[in-house]
Structure 1
Amino acid sequence: MKNIRRTQPHSIRHLALLGAAIACVLSLAGCGLQPATAFVPAVAPGSIKNIDNLPPGASITITSKNYTEALILGKMAVLAAKAAGFKVTDKSNVPGSVAVRNLMLNGGADMVWDYTGTAWLTYLGHKAGIPDPAKQYAAVRDEDKDNGLTWLAPAELDNTYAMAVRSGAVSKLNGITSLSQIKDLPVKERTFCVESEFNSRPDGFKPMLKTYGLTLGAANGVPLSNVKILDTGTVYEATARGLCNFGEVFTTDGRILSLNLKVMKDDKSFFPAYNVAPVLRTATLEKYPQLKSIFGQISSKLTNDEQQKLNLKVDVDGQEPADVAFNWMKAEGLISSP
């Protein structure tokens, strides 16, 4: 999956080179945004109703980044807008947060699902995130108003960094469930698998250990020999196979389920909040205020557990993001088949 908030716990790993991103903004047709990626199943209203007195030809342009979770959420937005009666231009699958942000700022798109931590750290340039989800959301919402963007109420879904332990090791590690318990383990059991980017981040591995009373490189803390620096995407499998006891993960990654990993509680709230929320151009929302309710119906149902299952269907089972979005929304009663 889905590290830009890093630019999202999804961002740097899914962020394309800036030059390519800019090229994509300048020439969307050359970025694979046409028929194949614009497909969604035919849709009819459910709890999301046709908007009364919607002007003929009313249109909205929806964008998304190009990793699994973003694609699924983007397709949800497209389906919701279609069910409400809009003509939708689907600009999902854009490489990188920078390109997507530019589309929103320059009027090339009207709506995107984005993450509070990504906005705060990457777009708005702050040095540290805010662990409290409500405070982080409010800070982003208030500051981004000046950019002509409105952040609607966020979902419970918080795709942030976390540490996970393989299920088979929990009993051996005294039933461990939270990060604060790691310091109570013998030094030989304090073994970690992390990506190089997380290992060097100011909000990454070393400061995380310090927060939980451990020093990286100290014989009585976490010796360097206890840490394996792995390529992006290999940490999950390495952790599941027992190469280490604890692995760096993103909290909504479907591989947590498929590999039977257990996310540990960040009981000192070290990691910043990365709640997802619908973001609209303020001018679009003022023109169609009903969009607040439409996208709010989706947000109210999005949780980490639910998104893990949806991401799993794409990343492990090989289903199309549009189909996963449609089936989930239909099951939730948000939309129906025509």
Structure 2
Amino acid sequence: MTFIPKIAKTLLSAAAIALAAGSTLAATLTVGGKNFTEQLILAELTKQLLESKGYTVDKKDGMGTKIVRAALENGEVDLYWEYTGTSLITFNKVTERLSPEETYNRVKQLDGEKGLVWLAPSAANNTYAYVIRPDNAKTEGMETISDLAKAYNDGKEILMGTTAEFPKRPDGLIGLQEVYGFEAGRANVRPMDLGLAYNALANGDLDTIAAQATDGQIAALKLKALKDDKGFFPNYALTPVVRKEVLDANPDLKGLLEAVSTKLDDATMQRLNSEVDVDKKTIETVAADYLKSLGI
């Protein structure tokens, strides 16, 4: 039996406690993100913000919606920016029509039961929007999604660009076709990167895009958004979501992230997205400049 002096035992105990505390507090925070411009900007912005406050950050962006959510739930990701409508329908399977405030409160409650904390939401509502270009005879005169549905029901070949996820989502094409009573048909749906879809629409290779309302190209390309006249798409308030155990260990995260979320609105996100997609600035530069504008 090895003899360990009392003072050595004390030091070993202190070291063990420090190690345990370190594993709980997590010296490195993992920030997740999805695989489109807005999410890439927010993941980088969050990384720079937290690093400026002394955190070590491991950024894992470019993931699909279900993958990043699963990573948050299993602890591989500590926080990321999610949309209220996505959590409501895709993750919590709620199909009733709710107001923006009701949507936020419902997902906050339901996800809270899973150990996920929704912080203060932004005013940026990145809901889906069908957009068309102004000089296309096939979509001329369209004002609403009902008009688009009628064109499909009349047998017109309207080529639709979407993200890879949109045709499979209940808050995407599946639900939209059911509510509006049409079927686009597989041959008319072209899943692709959204940036490529905008180019294809501008070049005449597509007739419409299932876009996101805060996309910078909508204004840059002078596109027209069709009115969601049946109110299918829910509110998609952009909000930071953090694992509760991470927030408990790092309570200052709430103030840091809400200092950003409460400043974001549709116009701001459209501008930031446009700086990357239209002006071709780097995501790192756009994120740094925006933080600087906030005085962070």
TM-score by length of 2: 0.72
Moved more, 107-116 or 135-144: 107-116
Whole-Å separation in 2 of the counterparts to 1:197 and 1:110: 23
The AA in structure 1 aligned to 2:229 is: D
Q: Does 1:76 align with 2:45?
A: yes
Deviations 1:239-291 (A, max 9, x none): 33445654322223333244321222323321133322111122332344333
1:297 aligned residue: 259
Mark the CA change 1:208 to 1:119 in structure 2 (over 3 Å): closer, same or farther.
Answer: closer
2:121 aligned residue: 154
Whole-Å separation in 1 of the counterparts to 2:26 and 2:219: 41
Whole-Å separation in 1 of the counterparts to 2:70 and 2:207: 41
Q: 2:31 aligns with which of 63, 86, 95?
A: 63
Matched-pair contact (CA < 8 Å) for 1:151–1:279: yes
Q: Does 1:134 align with 2:101?
A: yes
Give the C-alpha shift of residue 102 in structure 1: 4.2
Give the C-alpha shift of residue 160 in structure 1: 2.9
Q: Does 1:271 align with 2:233?
A: yes
2:59 aligned residue: 91
Q: 2:160 aligns with which of 193, 203, 223?
A: 193
1:179 aligned residue: 145
Give the C-alpha shift of residue 190 in structure 1: 8.8
Whole-Å separation in 1 of the counterparts to 2:158 and 2:74: 46
Matched-pair contact (CA < 8 Å) for 1:115–1:275: yes
Classify the secondary structure of the residue corresponding to 1:167: coil
Matched-pair contact (CA < 8 Å) for 2:40–2:62: no
Mark the CA change 1:267 to 1:108 in structure 2 (over 3 Å): closer, same or farther.
Answer: same
Whole-Å separation in 2 of the counterparts to 1:287 and 1:201: 35
Whole-Å separation in 1 of the counterparts to 2:204 and 2:232: 25
Give the C-alpha shift of residue 127 in structure 1: 6.0
Moved more, 158-167 or 250-259: 250-259
Whole-Å separation in 1 of the counterparts to 2:177 and 2:115: 39
Classify the secondary structure of the residue corresponding to 1:256: helix
Give the C-alpha shift of residue 310 in structure 1: 1.8
The AA in structure 1 aligned to 2:108 is: R
Deviations 1:89-125 (A, max 9, x none): 222325334443344334444322122233334444x
Whole-Å separation in 2 of the counterparts to 1:216 and 1:95: 29
Mark the CA change 1:300 to 1:254 in structure 2 (over 3 Å): closer, same or farther.
Answer: same
Whole-Å separation in 1 of the counterparts to 2:165 and 2:68: 22
2:7 aligned residue: none
Whole-Å separation in 1 of the counterparts to 2:108 and 2:249: 19
Matched-pair contact (CA < 8 Å) for 2:90–2:170: no
2:72 aligned residue: 104
**Structure 2 regions of 5+ residues with no counterpart?**
1-24
Aligned length: 266
Q: 1:319 aligns with which of 275, 281, 284?
A: 281
Q: Does 1:232 align with 2:192?
A: yes
Q: 1:282 aligns with which of 231, 239, 244?
A: 244
Matched-pair contact (CA < 8 Å) for 2:131–2:223: yes
Give the C-alpha shift of residue 304 in structure 1: 3.0
Matched-pair contact (CA < 8 Å) for 1:131–1:269: no
Q: Does 1:256 align with 2:229?
A: no
Runs of 4+ in 1 over 6 A off after TM superposition: none
Whole-Å separation in 2 of the counterparts to 1:216 and 1:323: 42
Mark the CA change 1:96 to 1:288 in structure 2 (over 3 Å): closer, same or farther.
Answer: same
Give the C-alpha shift of residue 58 in structure 1: 8.6
Matched-pair contact (CA < 8 Å) for 1:129–1:273: no
Classify the secondary structure of the residue corresponding to 2:59: strand
Mark the CA change 1:106 to 1:194 in structure 2 (over 3 Å): closer, same or farther.
Answer: closer
Mark the CA change 1:166 to 1:89 in structure 2 (over 3 Å): closer, same or farther.
Answer: same
User: RMSD across aligned C-alpha pairs, in angstroms?
Assistant: 3.6
Q: Does 1:307 align with 2:274?
A: no
Mark the CA change 1:262 to 1:110 in structure 2 (over 3 Å): closer, same or farther.
Answer: same
2:16 aligned residue: none
Identity %: 31
Give the C-alpha shift of residue 311 in structure 1: 2.2
